[in-house]
Amino acid sequence: MRPLLVGLLLLALATGLAILHRRRKRRSRTLPRGARLDTTVVMCTAGYDATRRGQPVVLSEHIVLAALYDRQVAALVESAGASAASLRSELDQHLPASSETPADSAGIALSPAAAAIVERAEARTGGWRPPSPIDLVVAAQSAAEGCFAAALLTRACRDLDRASREPPRTPERGDPTGERVEVVFWNDDVTKMEAVQRLLVDCFGKDGLEATHFMLTVHFAGSAAAGAYPPDAAAALVARATEVARDRGMPIRITLGPAAEEMGFTWATEPAGATEALGRAPSTP
């Protein structure tokens, strides 16, 4: 079972990198059989991060960094006493900067340490379901000595395994502004993936890896919500992003929610434009 799971995740990684390499989006993208959508997005994002840094293998740090953009992982880390944004910053500083000569995506593979994390994540589920991004992060925290990601998680968070098994806390929705509306991105057959990444960076103030994670979520899920905001702020974000997209020749569709998502995806952080419209500090995990 374990070799099969590792093979599925490697296939997901290779598929995602091949899509990025071809620089095109397609309306229907079939996931490897038995793979989770959110885990596939994390693994593909980790592979992209490795290639852009010029590294030929995906390390444990790439997987943890990518997983920290997942909404549920960010919430788990917060419940365990840490900040997902702070952990992402430390991991990004530990890894090499982006390389002028990216690695060949066709030859990317999991390092032995990363493969071990995948196997531990699968063992944690008992083999009855594919591992989630939470399983990957919990498995990474239990990695052997010498793993920077494991040491970072252990230093910053209480026991993630125990925290993940506790009943989830009901989110507090004490929003004094009242009604909130989602900003939704939709997949299409024409818009290039790197163009979506640039739009997310330029209009929503996101770093490259966060933009990649969200873009891949839209690509595989068909649509995804970039956050929920007061109606006026959400409408302003949609209008601004749509105008920039049209000026760049992008037919991408950006609407006011809800998104047609089966997996409950949402962005872990709010777009900078919404923060300015709301007149408050950014809300990060």
77, 163 in Cβ contact below 8 A? no
pTM > 0.85: yes or no: no
Alpha-carbon distances, residue 7 vs 15, 31, 40, 51 (angstroms)? 12, 13, 12, 20
The domains of the chain, with CATH numbers, are 2-165 (1.10.1780.10), 181-278 (3.30.1390.10)
What is the distance between the alpha carbons of residues 60 and 50, in angstroms, rounded to a whole number? 11
Q: Could you list the pLDDT tens digit for every one of the 285 residues in the chain?
A: 555 455 555 555 555 555 554 544 444 455 666 678 999 999 999 999 999 999 999 999 999 999 999 999 999 999 998 999 999 999 999 999 999 888 888 888 999 999 999 999 999 988 778 899 999 999 999 887 778 999 999 999 989 999 998 865 654 555 555 688 888 999 988 888 889 999 999 988 888 899 999 999 998 888 888 777 888 888 898 999 999 999 999 999 999 876 544 344 444 444 444 444 444 433 333
Q: HSE on the CB side for 179, CA within 13 Å?
A: 7
- Strand-strand pairing, 181-186 and 109-110: unpaired
